[in-house]
């Protein structure tokens, strides 16, 4: 959201009675920050500390990985979380908090920037783009204000850090290391609930697997129940850690001076939660405690032990934290503060997304209001449960797929292993597992159309660069950031690219003439989506566009467009199309002749061809042994995918 859409201070004061302490904060802290601009952290701290020594709260974040709101205080009877339940009893529970992204690196990138990763080109798992010149990560604003900022110890951002972000980001980072009297912002992260801990064996179950809650979309087997039980076991272990962190704060005599957040970084590590932008992958626990002396920074509905249904998300955390410190959000922040001096009005929608997950490409965008969740699948020809090497290490994933292959699943349970519809709509109030797609329901047509429109307007507003092949986010603007590229309508004509992506992914046969025209567009992203449209229509589509696709394969200037044309012709063309398609994919997957992301795209296409790609076996075997060329955060993905291709070929 644009900064000028945010509520003014006057608007907030109309909705909430003014507090003399809040007004004091606005005047004195604002003046102190202005005086300290350009000074060192310590100088800025000294300048503001003289004016408001008691008015700036310490801020502590306790975070954990891969959990949904599976805590006793959120009404989960199977959970055993006494420490967090006690914490919630004196805090405010947020029942509608979204992580914005359903996987760690994009989610943490959202938090640290206060921006949607599709707007900064950082949506893809373990990518590494950069912010525009002058944009900062939010702890840098706190440090300028004199805060001592520490992170213990996970970063995992998909963006290059713009300078020194933390005073200390390490296993030794701690608020105890600040200067005397200096306010702190400290993050402590527990990894004990991570996906990898669900499948760690041997493990002696604490929670009885017989009582484990199994969602309707998964098969009810001993393996699945054991994984869910072990997941809850890790949460109980994490709960003790959280209790220890809170006790340490209290023992130091700082509990009354510290605002404490507890949250998880995205949904559970079980399949169809982590990595999928369903409610199960985006809905996270958020609990915030505000001591009595800082009640002027609390929302109007703050009641110890209470809850709120206000829609908040990870994109809102950065503006919220700096608002607690009295700092107004910079113009490039896209979230909205829900606490503090610059609290904004509640927003009616929250947004989510899915990009490349490890070695597999996908593109999903979502939006929810307080009841309904709309999902737009821009690559509906891909199955939900694309093979990911890391995900298949979990027993639930393996047994679920085995039962699918054996034809032993219900229609609801089978869906995860099949292709997607272009649109999905779910009633979160009556269908929290999201198994009843209402997109074709006449009674919900108005809701569908509204949320479809909201999602589209959001993509245009944030200038979503995810409509580019990943390679082109870099190649189109080598001297600037993807964000800067996205805001240049000449280099990134989203007003033409987005309609082609919509036409391609609609699976509407009437769109064929539009797709055919798109294949000759001057912009390669338009051509990419046009080619994708023919691929998504499978045999019917390729039959309609075969001649144009052959011309594209032979002469298009974009390697990414040629990859899609090769996959379409190789999978759904006639016998004469296979050899040209395989020759093109062989050339386009050579790592030292193509970009890393083009190679990854080509390997995905080869894998989709299955047995038809058998003539490439020796080429793929050589790729599976490549080790020294991937970018720093993508190491291993091409090797894993090449190994999978060999398995698929047989």
Cβ neighbours of residue 578 under 8 Å, at least 6 residues apart?
A: 569, 570, 612
Catalytic site residue from 64, 73, 97, 104? 104
List Cβ neighbours of 143 (8 Å cut-off, separation of 6 or more).
Answer: 41, 149, 167
- Please provide the size of the chain in residues: 650
Contact between residue 353 and residue 368 where contact means Cβ atoms under 8 Å apart: no
Tell me the C-alpha distance between 132 and 119, whole Å.
11
> Is 98:314 a contact under the CB 8 Å cutoff?
yes
530 burial level (CB within 10 Å; 0-12, 13-18, 19+): buried
d(CA 275, CA 470): 18
Residue pointed to by tokens 């047994």: 399
* Residues 437, 439, 443, 446, CA torsion sign: positive
Q: How far apart, in whole angstroms, are the C-alpha atoms of residue 58 and residue 147?
A: 8
Q: How many distinct helices (H) and strands (E) make up the chain?
A: 26, 13
Cα–Cα distance measured from residue 608 to residue 610, given in angstroms and rounded to the nearest whole number: 5
Q: How many CB atoms lie within 10 A of CB 439?
A: 17
104 is catalytic: yes
As a whole number of angstroms, the distance between CA 648 and CA 637 comes to 16
| Cα(526)–Cα(267) distance, integer angstroms | 34
Tell me the three state secondary structure of residue 333. Answer: coil
CA angle 321, 324, 329 (to 5 degrees): 60
Torsion of CA 457, 459, 460, 465, to 10 degrees: 180
Whether cis (ω within 30° of 0) applies to the bond prior to 202 is yes
* Positions marked active-site: 104
């Amino acid at each position: 959201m644009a900064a000028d859409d945010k509520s003014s201070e006057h608007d907030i004061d109309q909705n909430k009675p003014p507090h003399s302490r809040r007004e004091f904060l606005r005047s004195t802290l604002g003046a102190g920050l202005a005086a300290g601009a350009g000074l060192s952290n310590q100088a800025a701290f000294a300048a503001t500390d003289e004016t408001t020594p008691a008015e700036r709260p310490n801020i502590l974040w306790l975070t954990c990985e891969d959990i949904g709101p599976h805590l006793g205080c959120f009404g989960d009877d199977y959970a055993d979380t006494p420490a967090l339940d006690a914490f919630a009893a004196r805090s405010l529970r947020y029942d509608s908090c979204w992580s914005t992204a359903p996987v760690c690196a994009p989610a943490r990138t959202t938090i640290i920037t206060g921006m949607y990763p599709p707007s900064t080109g950082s949506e893809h798992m373990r990518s590494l783009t950069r912010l525009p010149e002058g944009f900062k990560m939010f702890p840098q604003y706190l440090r300028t204000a004199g805060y001592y900022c520490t992170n213990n110890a996970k970063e995992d951002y998909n963006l290059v850090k713009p300078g020194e972000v933390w005073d200390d980001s390490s296993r030794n980072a701690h608020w105890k290391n600040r200067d005397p009297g200096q306010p702190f912002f400290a993050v402590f992260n527990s990894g004990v609930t991570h996906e990898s801990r669900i499948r760690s064996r041997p493990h002696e179950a604490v929670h009885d697997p017989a009582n484990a809650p199994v969602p309707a979309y998964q098969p009810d087997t001993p393996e699945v129940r054991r994984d869910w039980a072990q997941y809850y076991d890790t949460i109980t272990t994490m709960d003790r850690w959280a209790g220890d962190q809170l006790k340490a704060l209290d023992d130091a005599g700082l509990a009354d001076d510290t605002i404490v957040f507890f949250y998880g970084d995205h949904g559970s590590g079980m399949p169809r939660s982590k990595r999928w932008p369903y409610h199960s992958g985006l809905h996270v626990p958020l609990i915030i405690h505000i001591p009595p002396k800082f009640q002027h920074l609390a929302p109007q509905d703050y009641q110890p032990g209470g809850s709120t249904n206000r829609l908040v998300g990870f994109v809102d955390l950065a503006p919220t934290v700096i608002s607690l410190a009295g700092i107004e959000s910079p113009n490039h922040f896209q979230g909205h503060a829900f606490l503090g001096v610059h609290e904004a009005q509640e927003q009616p929608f929250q947004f989510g997304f899915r990009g490349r997950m490890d070695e597999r490409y996908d593109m999903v965008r979502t939006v929810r209001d307080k009841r309904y969740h709309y999902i737009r699948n821009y690559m509906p020809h891909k199955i939900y449960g694309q093979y990911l090497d890391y995900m298949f290490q979990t027993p639930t994933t393996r047994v679920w797929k085995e039962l699918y292959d054996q034809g032993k699943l219900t229609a609801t349970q089978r869906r995860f292993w099949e292709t997607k519809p272009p649109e999905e709509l779910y009633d979160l109030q009556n269908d929290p597992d999201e198994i009843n797609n209402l997109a074709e329901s006449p009674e919900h047509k108005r809701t569908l159309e509204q949320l479809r429109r909201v999602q589209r307007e959001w993509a245009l507003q944030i200038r979503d660069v995810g409509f580019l092949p990943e390679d082109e986010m870099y190649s189109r603007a080598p001297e600037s950031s993807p964000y800067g590229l996205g805001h240049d309508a000449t280099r990134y004509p989203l007003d033409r690219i987005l309609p082609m992506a919509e036409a391609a992914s609609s699976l509407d046969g009437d769109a064929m003439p539009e797709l055919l025209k798109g294949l000759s567009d001057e912009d390669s992203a338009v051509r990419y989506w046009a080619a994708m449209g023919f691929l998504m229509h499978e045999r019917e589509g390729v039959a309609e566009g075969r001649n144009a696709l052959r011309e594209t394969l032979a002469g298009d200037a974009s390697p990414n467009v040629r990859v899609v044309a090769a996959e379409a012709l190789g999978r759904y063309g006639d016998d004469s199309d296979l050899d040209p398609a395989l020759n093109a994919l062989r050339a386009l997957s050579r790592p030292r002749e193509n970009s890393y992301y083009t190679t990854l795209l080509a390997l995905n296409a080869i894998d989709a061809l299955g047995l038809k790609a058998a003539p490439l076996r020796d080429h793929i075997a050589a790729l599976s042994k490549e080790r020294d060329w991937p970018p720093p955060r993508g190491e291993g993905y091409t090797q894993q995918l090449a190994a999978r291709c060999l398995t698929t070929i047989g």
